[in-house]
Structure 1
């Protein structure tokens, strides 16, 4: 059994930023990470994933992203960056420690892992992020569709889909990036409930994220309220050009899946080999089931990342937790500092003991 000042659940970007913020407070965090290596969810993303924010806007606190600050890093560069960041932290980061249960006891928490270890602390921060549980919408006919169904979390590269008919469901950045990549080797439609919304990557010679930062929208709680219906696709011109050229084409969401095909909104039926659901993720927090922390469908009850029902409990890495930047490399550090400051007002850190 270990006593800690704060237990951080998750060792990806949100967990590492939280550990760094805790160290800045003079606390010794224990980070419990289910995976065997650094990087959180990043190693599981598709091979060609490229950040839509430049390197200069893609750093955690205390360590700049290496290389040209104006370039757009790829997935493996982010994994390497997070690995280097974890090695520089003077924190107790424990890999292959999946948290099974968080229990409230004696004004604090007992955090139990699948290995049988228990860590006790006055505070717990769930930093497993908002990208752990792929969301599969209840589309008519999805469960009986005889073709291939993948979530974008399972997609890696286009080669297995060469020569096939593919429908990508979703209108966000990942959906468009995957659809355009697949259209180089397959016949692809991107299918959405609403129109595709575009945001130019560079405005008046500056990256879009520069404008977010210098107008304050990136960190303002008003930012997410100004954009309803999802985040627009950030585009340097090539994605919109590809969609306008029909590679992929864009269609309204089909009315249903039917055996080995889809029925489109105009009533026509077409055979389809594969459907890729780029439909986002939901927080995966089953270890909080024995607390009052979760609401409908397992959603955390919180204000800006501070639990509204369980004192001493916080969250870092949730999408739009406090601003546009929440759940991004550039935003989790600010959210971590905010959450720990709030938790510090609720609980006095437990006495540290030798491990």
Structure 2
């Protein structure tokens, strides 16, 4: 593998998802030189390649639009997947963003003496290494870099289909199958609902931890109220609305956390689960709820409550792990807590 010439800019942005595109646009409008490096062959690759067909934004569009370009007026409040992909493509075109695709970052290190970041990438299309230098590094890879599958006792013995939710498009191939969805976040509950409601799958969902289950409308109300009311009061009101909507779902095996949904979001990053119909399916028994998986043997899965059931398919909606630590060489545990000798910009900005 050869080495390409070096390039220098003020800001290096890693990731051509919504955050990276927005950051590049804001910098361009201020004549700050920057470059966007993207490991895939397109922008918004998570949406284009690793999202299921029925996906919609869980937040109202006014909370999800990128800087300097609102959604068209005719766009639905909760934007469907295909419409959001088109919006991202239009954003790239409108602002003339030119990400360098198929650039896999191998290392990023800060040189204290020069005050520069050195980012080494592999151009996977040409099989050469490239080196970029910049005063600032923006990590805009998000939290969804690599699908996470938990280590379960006996998982290697499972005789059926194993799949991470990032590979799920629709449930056509699982018609009539016994499917276990592991995970009760947004992906888990939406996939479980899709399988049961649209594909005649015998669907079960594994709920290991307490979770707030709200509707899009309740979350929207909560976000508006946060502008005027204390977080604690908003949490109390939204959880009350959730209970009025769904009733006491703990009797179905879905426990509520001790802290409120917006407190958890602010303190831990954990979002409430947005219900799209899964809870009604749970209430009617069309979707069964199980606790954590204890062990797997062949096509039999044993749960923490001692129950054992046959499954043809396991879909892991167990989230993602960031791959940043694999290539970011400095230790960032003190960022934001004290003095540092280098600067990292967080791409999660509200405005610019």
Is the aligned partner of 1:231 residue 2:268? Answer: no
1:213-224 alignment runs, 5 A limit: 215=229, 223-224=263-264
Match of 1:42? 47
Confirm whether residue 22 of structure 1 aligns to residue 61 of structure 2: no
Q: Which residue of 2 aligns with 1:323?
A: none
Contact kept, 8 Å, 1:29 with 1:92, in 2: the verdict is no
Alpha-carbon deviations, 1:125-167, whole Å to 9, x = none? 1111110111112222223322211111111110011111111
> 1:114/1:52 Cα in 2 relative to 1: closer, same or farther (>3 Å)?
same
- Which residue among 112, 115, 133 is the counterpart of 2:120? 112
Partner of 1:129: 142
Deviations 1:265-312 (A, max 9, x none): 3423221111111111111115525x223xxxxxx63646x9986612
Query: Quick one: distance in 2 between partners of 1:45 and 1:84?
Result: 19
Residues 1:90 and 1:266: Cα distance change in structure 2 (over 3 Å) = closer
Greater CA drift, 61-70 or 245-254: 61-70
| Pairing partner for 2:323 from 284, 287, 304 | 284
Distance 2:298 2:42 in 1: 40
* Equivalent residue, structure 1, for 2:37: 32
2:13–2:34 CA contact under 8 A, matched in 1: yes
Q: Which residue in 2 is equivalent to 1:147?
A: 160
* Counterpart check, 1:201 vs 2:213: no
Offset from partner CA, 1:24-72 (integer Å, 9 cap, x none): 4431111111122221311121111111112222201111122436521
C-alpha deviation, 1:177, in angstroms: 0.4
For 1:160 and 1:215, the matched residues in 2 are separated by: 47
CA RMSD of aligned residues (A): 2.8
SS at match of 1:140: coil
1:252 and 2:284 are equivalent in the alignment: no
Question: CA 1:214 to 1:261, structure 2 compared with 1: closer, same or farther past 3 Å?
Answer: farther
User: CA 1:144–1:3 in structure 2 vs 1: closer, same or farther (change >3 Å)?
Assistant: same
Per-residue displacement from partner, 1:91-136 (whole Å, max 9, x unpaired)? 4421222222213332211212212222111111111111011111
Contact 2:109 2:330 in 1 (8 A): no
Partner of 2:251: none
CA distance in 2, matches of 1:229, 1:286: 19
Change in CA separation of 1:227 and 1:239 when aligned onto 2, cut-off 3 Å: farther
Q: Which deviates more, 67-76 or 268-277?
A: 67-76
Task: Report the number of matched residues.
Answer: 308
Structure 2 residue runs without a partner (length 5+): 1-5, 124-128, 235-261
Cα offset, 1:88, TM superposition? 1.9
The structural deviation recorded for 1:225 is 6.0
Helix, strand or coil: the match of 2:166? helix
- On the 8 A contact 2:190/2:275 being kept in 1, the answer is no
Question: Is the partner of 1:23 in helix, strand or coil?
Answer: helix
TM-score by length of structure 1 reads: 0.78
Match of 1:117, SS state, is strand
The alpha-carbon distance between structure 1 residues 243 and 213, as it changes in their structure 2 partners (threshold 3 A), is farther
8 Å CA contact 1:8–1:19 kept in 2: the answer is yes
- 1:186 corresponds, among 193, 201, 204, to 201
Q: 1:226 to 1:312 in 2, by over 3 A?
A: closer
Provide the TM-score with structure 2 as the length reference.
0.78
2:109 to 96, 103, 107: 103
Deviation at 1:200, TM superposition (A): 3.2
Match of 1:51 in 2: 57
